[in-house]
Every structure is written in C-alpha cells, then in structure tokens.
Structure 1
Amino acid sequence: MTGQQHGRQGPRSGPAEERARGAAARLAGAGVHGTALTWVDNAGLTRVKAVPANRLPQAVGAGVGMSPCFDVYLVDDSMTASEHLGGPDGDLRLVPDLGRLTVLAAQPGWAWAPVDRYEQDGEPYAGCQRGFARRMARRALAEHGIELRMGFETEWVAVRGPLPEAGTAPAYATTGPAYGMARLVENSEYLRDILTALRTQGVEVLQIHPEYAPGQFEVSVAPSDPVGAADLAVLVRETVRAVSLRHGLTASFAPVVDPDGVGNGGHVHLSLWREGRNLCAGGEGPFGMTRECEAFLAGVLRELPALLALGAPSPASYLRLRPSRWAGAFQCWGLENREAALRFVAGTGAAAGNANAEVKCVDAAANPYLLVGGVVAAGLAGLDLAAGTDPAAARLPEPVLGDPARQERGPGRLPGSLAEALAHFERSGTLRSAMGEPLFGAVRAVRAGEIELFEGASEHEIAAATRGRY
C-alpha cells in the first residue's frame, strides 16, 4: 500500500519547495529528524506517514504516496468498500501544509504537519476531508461574506499504564471528586506539562481542568478558521497523548471508556464574523443574535440527525449520547442549556465578541474535518433558506429550558443508534451535495461497516473494542 516518491513535478512545486527547503533547515537547527504527516480517515483515526526532516522539500514538491483505500478502513483496521473507493488500486499524494508545520514539544526530534491529498496528476482528491472543510469555509466567505471561527473542546480519560482488557476496571489517574481541586493537585505536573507543551507549540489554551468522570480532563483552545480548528484538534490530541505516555499514563479520547459512566465529548464552538463584527451578537434575533446567525444555527439544528453520522460516528458514540448526561441527546437548542444539542452562549456589552454556539452532541471519534465541514454546510443551507422564498423556515424554534428528558412535551430525541443516524445521513441532500459522491459514499460505507462489525456486541464489548482506538 506504500507508494514511492519520484522526481516528477507534483501539486506543490517551485516557490513552495523553496519555502520547504528553508523550513527543513530550521527543523535541522532545532534538532528535528522526522516529520509526521497526518490525515484523519472516515473512521476518525489519525493516520500518518513520516519523512526525514531533510526530505520535506521533496514531500512538498512531489507529495508522499498513500493508498486511497484508507478512506474505507474501519475502526479495527479492517476494510470495507464503497462505489467509488476501496480495493488495492490507485495512489494519492500527501502534501504537507507548511503553514501548520509544528515542532513537537512532547516528542523530541519530531515535527508535525497535516496534509492535503491530491491525485497523481495534481488534481485535488475528491475524498480529502480537509479539502471538504476548506471548500465549505470558502463558500461561506464567497457567498455570504462570512468568516467562521471554530474551536474544539478536547476531553479524555487518563489511566495508569495501558488500557485494561474487557471486564477489568481501569486504574484511573484521579481519585478526587468531579471537577475537584484535589484532582488537579494530584495531577499538577501532568497538566503543567500539557500546558507547557501546547504553549511551546504556539497553541493558545483557554482552559484546562478536571472533568466529571474518573480520570477525565478537558482542554479548550482558542478558536481558528474551520480548517485550522480541525488541525488544532489533531495537534492537541496527539500532544496530550505524548505527554500522557511520558507520565506513564494512557489517554483515551473514545466516546466512552466505561459505558456505565459519562463519556468524552468533542464539542465544537462556532461564531460567524463579517468585517470584524461577531454576527452572534448585536442583532434582533433570539438573545441578541443577528438574523443571519439565527438562520445559520437553524440550518445546523435541522440537520443534526444527519450530522450525527459525522459527529457521533461510532456505535460507541451512542453509549455516550444519552439523556440527562449533558451530552445533548435531544434535537433542541437553548441559552446556556447544557442538555441541549445546540447551546447558545450570549455575549453582551464588552463580552459581545465572545458570543458563540456550541454543538454538544458530538464526540472525539469524529473526523474533525468532516465535522466542521458538515456543520458549515448545514448552516449555509439555513442561510440559503433565509434568502429564498420561505425565510420563516430559517427561524429557530422556541429555546428549551431545563432538561428536555423531564418535560412531558419536550423536543424529539436525536438518533439513539448509529444505524438511525446513518438513515438520516443517507437522506440528507444537503450533506450529499456538499461532500460530493465519492466522500459521501465512503463515509456511508464505513458507517455501515462498523454497524455490521459490532452487531450483537454488548455495551461493554463495544466500549472495550473502541476505547483504545481513539
């Protein structure tokens, strides 16, 4: 499956190779010997090819070979097939994004860069998830003059030593109470080293703290453009993983480590901007949002059942997505409502720039590029409705107060299984059109493959099979 580089001209030749030569020299000066080039597959796993640091110019100029079959890999590394992708044939070129090149603080001697994927002739690869996210961001700007700022919350569970086999309780890294200072004290060096590594890598951390479940932590970083937010999600996760290993810990970002407990979310925050103004504040819509913001969020809310196939993509995701666990199990929105799938955070006065929305019903099994691209596509569909013949369809329903699970006439449940989410995804003209048939079909095939893979498995078997994969 491994392709070889050749001396031909690739998708990024000329000036880009000159910049890469300069970057390679800087890496050598920093003691870097290898560069990890990553992409995330449709099962949500970060895959990698690595090159010696001095080969970076060749990687930028000609790309690094990789089979397209990884787009139909499942979480257990078995392979399925789709109409457009699958099988042993073909090769792609992985081209690193020099703008994201980062020396890794917790992996001495290594640097990292995300890649874009191209066909052999230099044309963009239709199955490239990063390219999909970029297309949606560019469409928002070109069609509506809107820049998206997005950011991920990263939650993980840290256990001492390796993750145990099924039926054995993990040795969690914390013993203190949920959100307790005791947890921070007993892990202060660990969390300090995560903060230090992220800062050294140029990542701005907003918060880091113990979470609810045993051994669980969360870190939030500053927002970026959609592609940048997804890049940061990958970088933050792998940085946490590396620091954890140096402390004798294993970090699991899986939807659940223990199906009887609270799982790991991968919440996405977003705000809409035009010419320096935050469209989530200062308007005439609900809680001060502009009508454009309302239309965008209405589009996201409407598409949530289908978006779960991107944002809650594993059978394990539905062990987390349960009522009354702050997971967002109902198709509703609310002001600062942590049980709503779509939570709005209002900004007033000096804090108007901080107004944003949070998609809560998603987790870290998601490919972050697919997720941000899908969310933007859904929001743009809402904006299109607002500009069409039925602008009322782009208005949000009444916000939900309190726990919807405890309301007699509350909102409808989001899909309770991957099979149900996949059915919504297959009917989504919005996502099919935005993603294109090759990418849409590959995602559909992987979801169907994992449904079959875990058919008949118990909740504990699903959790044990997936908690070490993310």
Structure 2
Amino acid sequence: MDRQQEYVLRSIEERDIRFIRLWFTDVLGVLKSVAIAPAELEGAFAEGIGFDGSSIEGLTRVYEADMLAKPDPATFQVLPWRGEENGVARMFCDILTPAGEPARSDPRGVLRRAMDKAAEKGFTFYTHPEIEFYLFQNSSPEDGLVPIDRGGYFDHVARGTAHDFRRDAITTLESMGISVEFSHHEAGPGQNEIDLRYADALSTADNIQTFRTVIKEVALQQDVLATFMPKPLVDAPGSGMHTHLSLFEGEHNAFYDPAGQYQLSDTGRAFIAGLLRHAAEITAVCNQHVNSYKRLWGGGEAPSYVCWGHNNRSALVRVPMYKPDKGGSARVEYRALDSAANPYLAFAVLLNAGLKGIEEGYELPEGADDDVWAMSRAERKALGIRSLPNSLREAVEIMETSELVAETLGEDTFEFFLRNKRTEWEEYRAQVTAYELQRFIPAL
C-alpha cells in the first residue's frame, strides 16, 4: 500500500468518515457515483469495485459488462455539504477491465492517454477554465426562467443573491483543495463566472466535475436553479468555458519565446495551427448538445469563425496579453468550449489537435486583428476564415470523418458518441417548438 492510500485510510478514521463516494464520468460527461463503507476501501484500492459497465452510457457493450472502478487516492476530499457527523468523502476512479487493463471508453482514461502521448514528447499539459453558468429563481414552470437579478458584466448588485452564491461556492471549493482565481457577474442577467486556477489537465477535468456538483449543491441550499446549459435565454449571452492552454517542458513554458511575435514560440504557433486546422472536427466534442450551437451562433462574444488573434475576443483562439517578464504565463485561449462539455474528452481532443500541429509542423496563418463578426462574408472568405459547424448535425458529420478524433477517443467511445449525438439531433428535429406555434398557428 502506498503513502497516499495510507493517508486516505488514516484521514477516514481520524475524521469519522462513514461513507466514501467513488466518482467517475460517463462518455456524455454525466457524473456517476457509488458509495462504499470504510471497511471496503482497502479492497477497492487493491482490486477495484465491480459494477455493470453496460448500464453506463457508452462505457462498454452488454457482453463486456463487468467493469472495475478503482479509486485514485490523490483525489480524496471530504464533501463539506454533507456535514461533520457521519462524514462523506469522495475519490475519482479509473475504470478498468476485469483483467486490470484501463477501459478504452473511460473518459478519464481517454485524457490520460493523450497526456501520456504529450509526456513522451516531453510536454506537460496545463489548463485553466473560465466557467460560466446562470442562476434562476426556483419559480413555477408557468413563469418560465426568471433570472435572480438583472445585473451585467462585472456589476456589483447591492445585496445580490449572486454575491452570496459565489462566496459560498468558492468557500466550498477551496475547502476541497480547489483553488479559485476570479469570480464575477457575467454579461447576462443572473449569469456568473468562476475561474479555476490552472493545473494539469487531468486535475482540472476532475475539478470541473467537482465544480458542477458544488454549484448544484449550493443552488439547492439557497433555493435557486443553477444551470450550465449553453444558451438558456434567447436574448442573452450563452455560457462558455473559455479555456487557457499551455505546454511545459519541465519548468520551461514551451509556448514562450521572448524573440517571437507576441513572445510566442514556434511550438506555440504550431499548437495554435493544429487547433485551427482541426477545429471543425473537434467541435462536436467541445460543443456536444443541440443547444450548444445557439450559443456559438448567438453572438455575445461566442466564436463562430476559425481564426486566431492577439487579444482579439472575436477569434476562436486568442493569445492573451501577459507581462513581458512573466514568460511562464504564456498561453493560448480556446474560446469555443461551453460549460456543458465533457472536460476529459474535450481536453483530450484539444491536446491532440495541438500536438498534431507540432508533429506535422503546421504553418500558422495570419492572425485576425479586426472584429471577425463585423466582417462581411466576402471579407472573411478573402482572408481564408472558415466557419465552425452551425448545428450538431453538421458537427457530427465532420467529426465522423476525423482520424484525429477517432484515434483520440478510441473506437468504442467514438462510435457511441456519434450514435448518441445522431439520436439527439433526430429527437430535436422532430420537436414542434413554441416559436413555430406562435408564428404559424395564427398565419396558416
């Protein structure tokens, strides 16, 4: 038994933890959980806990049903909202086959494989997400969605519910060892943003899953409705998860070159070129719901076009400004991700797209200095600026032909994801919407 496992067992005894929740994520990004008693934990560390994997979305096929959930002791944290007495803790799990091999369709394993590939090239992959979400009143369905306030970007709403909400959420996150960098009111009514401090991509993905749970728990405590739906309101901005990406070689930031344009190294430029060339292919993973495309094409600084720029917030990829003497902060920001994405799969395809650019020596096109949304179609065409997919159907059709995404996700996950998203599109397409009823019933 290693030191981390010993620390967990000792902490459980000292803190009177009665239940340990083993967390893992299905292919669609939904958090799953099974509780075990402390007496079962040593066995779980040694052999894992068996469960029916065929009952979890996309995890395995019926004739390969038996799977093992093996807890990662490095992710041990007490759940503060469960109270001090009869405490509850959680750990994330890696999913294994009965033979002890990593399950090919475990999203955490998908990201780990991509990070291992980067490590073979000497890189460690770091991410820093800016997570947006909406808070609505817990009103009756007849009232529709009623935002908790009418605030806007960076507004200080006197005695606002959002202040207390963000404070309680951040206090809970930090008590679980998850560092928060910024928090503020976003542009939409009732819309908020909390930014997590950068960490390696696997830790960040675990933190995002914990973050979503914490936000929902605090919402229940405060009798409000929290949602990560990409575009809940027609006339307000959608909720994105702009994510800052960087590669390190040991202590050195591989994206930093003091002599480069914008102090960006050749490695950083090739990484951006990979993100741009493969952007359309990875969009279905980064924006996996039919509603995601109403955010991407709904304005409000959502990126619709494949281009990059220095501090240009209309671009898909942005190179943020940073202090010249802080080369360690060199990074790129990918702006298409939304808050409902599966972070494990999304980070995996982003990493592999960037690595492909480095491996193949992709040339970075000219950056976009102007507002891309304000350009005409002819101007964008002249500059070679392509569009992102404008619907889940288009995104899935493009992803279907992508060798990069197929290789990253693995055959089983790739096929399940495509099948599930085709079904989602068909179900969505069959709906008769309120818009259609309002427009056509009186007129036709």
Provide the TM-score with structure 1 as the length reference: 0.85
Match for residue 396 of structure 1? Answer: 364
AA in 2 matched with 1:437: E
SS of the residue 2:366 aligns to: coil
Instruction: Specify whether residues 300 and 47 from structure 1 end up closer, same or farther in structure 2 by C-alpha distance, changes over 3 A only.
Output: same
Instruction: For residues 13-58 of structure 1, give each alpha carbon's deviation from its aligned partner in whole angstroms, at most 9, with x where no partner exists.
Output: xx25x85464134124224322222222222222222223443222
Match for residue 89 of structure 2? Answer: 111
TM-superposed CA distance for 1:93, in Å, is: 0.6
Instruction: Specify whether residues 226 and 19 from structure 1 end up closer, same or farther in structure 2 by C-alpha distance, changes over 3 A only.
Output: closer
TM-superposed CA distance for 1:323, in Å, is: 5.2
Matches within 5 A, 1:273-288: 273-288=248-263
Matched, 1:60 2:58: no
**Contact (CA 8 Å) 1:432, 1:440: kept in 2 or not?**
yes
Distance 1:200 1:430 in 2: 38
Match for residue 91 of structure 1? Answer: 66
Matched, 1:338 2:313: yes
TM-superposed CA distance for 1:348, in Å, is: 3.7
Match for residue 33 of structure 1? Answer: 18
Greater mean alpha carbon deviation, residues 290-299 or residues 402-411: 402-411
**Contact (CA 8 Å) 1:133, 1:369: kept in 2 or not?**
yes
Match for residue 396 of structure 2? Answer: 422
AA in 1 matched with 2:127: M
Matched, 1:326 2:301: yes
Match for residue 99 of structure 2? Answer: 121
SS of the residue 1:182 aligns to: coil
Instruction: For residues 187-227 of structure 1, give each alpha carbon's deviation from its aligned partner in whole angstroms, at most 9, with x where no partner exists.
Output: 33322212211221111110011111111111111111111
User: Which of 116, 131, 145 matches 2:109?
Assistant: 131
User: 4+ residue stretches of structure 1 with deviation over 6 A?
Assistant: none
Instruction: Specify whether residues 121 and 88 from structure 1 end up closer, same or farther in structure 2 by C-alpha distance, changes over 3 A only.
Output: closer
**Contact (CA 8 Å) 2:152, 2:185: kept in 1 or not?**
no
Match for residue 149 of structure 1? Answer: 126
Match for residue 438 of structure 2? Answer: none
Distance 1:184 1:115 in 2: 40
Match for residue 146 of structure 2? Answer: 171
TM-superposed CA distance for 1:292, in Å, is: 0.8
User: Which of 236, 240, 246 matches 1:271?
Assistant: 246
Q: Which sections of structure 2, spanning at least 5 residues, go unmatched?
A: 436-444
Q: Which sections of structure 1, spanning at least 5 residues, go unmatched?
A: 1-14, 74-83, 387-393, 462-470
Distance 2:177 2:230 in 1: 28
TM-superposed CA distance for 1:85, in Å, is: 4.3
Matches within 5 A, 1:38-437: 38-70=23-55, 72=57, 85-87=60-62, 90-108=65-83, 109-143=87-121, 145-161=122-138, 165=141, 168-182=143-157, 185-322=160-297, 324-386=299-361, 394-408=362-376, 409-410=379-380, 411-437=385-411
SS of the residue 1:187 aligns to: helix
Distance 1:91 1:420 in 2: 35
Instruction: For residues 313-352 of structure 1, give each alpha carbon's deviation from its aligned partner in whole angstroms, at most 9, with x where no partner exists.
Output: 0111111111532111111111112221111113342232
Aligned sequence identity (%) = 26
**Contact (CA 8 Å) 1:210, 1:216: kept in 2 or not?**
yes
AA in 2 matched with 1:238: T
**Contact (CA 8 Å) 1:328, 1:340: kept in 2 or not?**
yes
Distance 1:85 1:339 in 2: 40
Distance 1:326 1:70 in 2: 39
Distance 2:61 2:235 in 1: 36
AA in 2 matched with 1:33: R
**Contact (CA 8 Å) 1:419, 1:448: kept in 2 or not?**
yes
AA in 2 matched with 1:27: I
SS of the residue 1:106 aligns to: helix
**Contact (CA 8 Å) 2:151, 2:188: kept in 1 or not?**
no
**Contact (CA 8 Å) 1:107, 1:242: kept in 2 or not?**
no
Instruction: Specify whether residues 224 and 88 from structure 1 end up closer, same or farther in structure 2 by C-alpha distance, changes over 3 A only.
Output: same
**Contact (CA 8 Å) 1:346, 1:352: kept in 2 or not?**
no
Instruction: Specify whether residues 176 and 309 from structure 1 end up closer, same or farther in structure 2 by C-alpha distance, changes over 3 A only.
Output: closer
TM-superposed CA distance for 1:435, in Å, is: 2.5
- CA RMSD, Structure 1 to Structure 2 (Å): 2.2
Distance 2:432 2:369 in 1: 34
SS of the residue 2:129 aligns to: strand
SS of the residue 1:340 aligns to: coil
**Contact (CA 8 Å) 1:334, 1:399: kept in 2 or not?**
yes
Instruction: For residues 262-303 of structure 1, give each alpha carbon's deviation from its aligned partner in whole angstroms, at most 9, with x where no partner exists.
Output: 211122211111131222222554411110111111111111
Instruction: Specify whether residues 460 and 102 from structure 1 end up closer, same or farther in structure 2 by C-alpha distance, changes over 3 A only.
Output: farther
